[in-house]
Amino acid sequence: MKFLLRLSISLSLLMIIPYSLNLDAQSASGNAKKQTYRKARVLQSSTAKKIQKVVEALERVDEEGKEDPDTLGAKAILTELLNNKDSLKSYDRSVMWNYWGYIYFSEENYDRAMNAYEQIIQEPEVTLPLRNSALFTLAQLYMVKGNFEKGIQILLEWMTQVDSVTAQAHSLLATAYFQVEDYINARDSMLEAVRLAEEVEEYRPKEQWYVLLTACYSQLADKKVITKAQALNKNLDIFEILVNYYPKKIYFLQLAGAYGQLNRELDQLVAYKSAYMKDLLDKENEYTALAQLLLLNKNPYWAAKVLVDGQNKMVLIKDEETEKEELKPVVKDSFKTLKLLADAWRMAQEIDEAIPVLEKAASMAKDGETYILLGNLYLFEDRLEDAIKAIENGIKKGGLKRESQAHLVLGQAFFELEKFEDAKKYFRMAARDKDKTIKKTANSWIKYSENEAIRVQNLQLRRQFIEQNS
């Protein structure tokens, strides 16, 4: 987290131009030490002419109107001023240092840039706008260099000198506080940044601000400043904002996770399903998690549809050994996923859909339980021969929790085929079970089979008699 935050700071700083080339456009502050830092000064004539050439060099464009700064030319002029700095007025030197800082900053020569901005601050006749700009840029540079304590110190000084502090500045301060593990000030500064953005500056707070807030609450909970429950509820509120402002997969999953921790299963389902409907899910565990939530909430048909969609969705997967990328389904045909899919179809009463999936799962299973389940489905569909074969395979594969149950089902299949001797054989095997319920059921089937065998035999004899005497 800290590395990412530091990186985000660096990237954001590189997008900020240190102090405007148009010095007259800067505003002054009412909180400043007016007796020391003036709002405006005038450059010496000779200095002004050279600075104008520096500006023209830095603002040069090519024939197509694209920026084409003459940095070398600007440096040559500034070097001339630097060599004669002792003869310059303090204000003139501050302006010169500002352009050195600008150039070094642009070149990512941060050490020299920092030195230039330090020089600006030390000049006794520097104007307040120029000094404040230098302070703000210097604070950022210290943070880029990893010296967050110094960055915070300078930024706080800058805040006392300006009329108003922007949301962006508060967010920068919050990030620096986070880096030095001052999570209370980090939280408070970021909350102020969010408030200012929404209420004063009227724009949407940045995504990273909310992310840092969640990290603050989590850290405060870890350090027992607040409870885990308080952190969870605060982060839940933030995740709800994030999925609306920045609808990325990670925020939907984090929101779903928070709902799950609060046992709000229906809300958890909605969060997951929202990500699914936006086609954000791209991992097998995400599809299976959603399917399981749908099953828990008595939506087996949609659970099955989600898993099938996962089977049909193809993503590029890189082979770790060959480093070749290949399109593969998100939801793979493993025993676990196939069994889940078969269960979903079965619970949805879509037996025709469940059977082929369960056949494939049974062949992958480590034990015979899945074959027994398959046999029951076949029996339900009056596919008696298939039921017998499946159950026999299950018994042969072994590892059954209750083999007597398999014998019961096998006996029932033979019974339906009117193979009563085979049926009674397996019912007798089931009757050996210590479970009184199974024993009672098996014995009932034995009597039923015996009676049915007599009934069928008598029926056959009657038919034969009729045929012989017709």
3-state secondary structure the chain: CHHHHHHHHHHHHHCCCCCCCCHHHCCCCCCCCCCCCCCCCCCCHHHHHHHHHHHHHHCCECCCCCECCCHHHHHHHHHHHHHCHHHCCHHHHHHHHHHHHHHHHHCCCHHHHHHHHHHHHHCCCCCHHHHHHHHHHHHHHHHHCCCHHHHHHHHHHHHHHCCCCCHHHHHHHHHHHHHCCCHHHHHHHHHHHHHHHHHHCCCCCCHHHHHHHHHHHHHHHHCCCCCHHHHHHHHHHHHHHHHHHCCCHHHHHHHHHHHHHCCCHHHHHHHHHHHHHCCCCCCHHHHHHHHHHHHHCCCHHHHHHHHHHHHHCEEEEECCCCCCEEEEECCCCCHHHHHHHHHHHHHCCCHHHHHHHHHHHHHHCCCCHHHHHHHHHHHHCCCHHHHHHHHHHHHHHCCCCCHHHHHHHHHHHHHHCCCHHHHHHHHHHHHCCCCHHHHHHHHHHHHHHHHHHHHHHHHHHHHHHHHHCC
Please compute the mean of the pLDDT values over residues 395-409 and round it to a whole number.
93
Residue 320: per-residue pLDDT: 79
Residue 61: per-residue pLDDT: 87
Q: Could you name the CATH architecture of 1-163?
A: Alpha Horseshoe (1.25)
Q: Which of 8-22, 81-95, 419-433, 447-461 has the lowest mean pLDDT?
A: 8-22
Sequence ranges of the domains in the chain:
1-163, 365-468
Residue 324 has pLDDT above 80, yes or no: yes
Average pLDDT of every residue of the chain: 89
Residue 23: per-residue pLDDT: 41
Contact 378, 390 (CB under 8 A): yes
Please compute the mean of the pLDDT values over residues 138-149 and round it to a whole number.
95
Residue 323: per-residue pLDDT: 82
pLDDT, tens only, 337-350? 999 999 999 999 99
- Same fold? 1-163, 365-468: yes
Position 109 confidence tier, pLDDT thresholds 50, 70, 90: very high
> With respect to CATH, is domain 365-468 assigned 1.25.40.10?
yes
Residue 14 has pLDDT above 80, yes or no: no
Residue 38: per-residue pLDDT: 60
Q: Rounded to an integer, what distance in angstroms lies between the CA atom of residue 348 and that of residue 30?
A: 72
pLDDT, tens only, 165-213? 999 999 999 999 999 999 999 999 999 999 999 999 999 999 999 999 9
Residue 258 has pLDDT above 60, yes or no: yes
Position 354 confidence tier, pLDDT thresholds 50, 70, 90: very high
Residue 317: per-residue pLDDT: 84
pTM (predicted TM-score): 0.80
Residue 27 has pLDDT above 70, yes or no: no
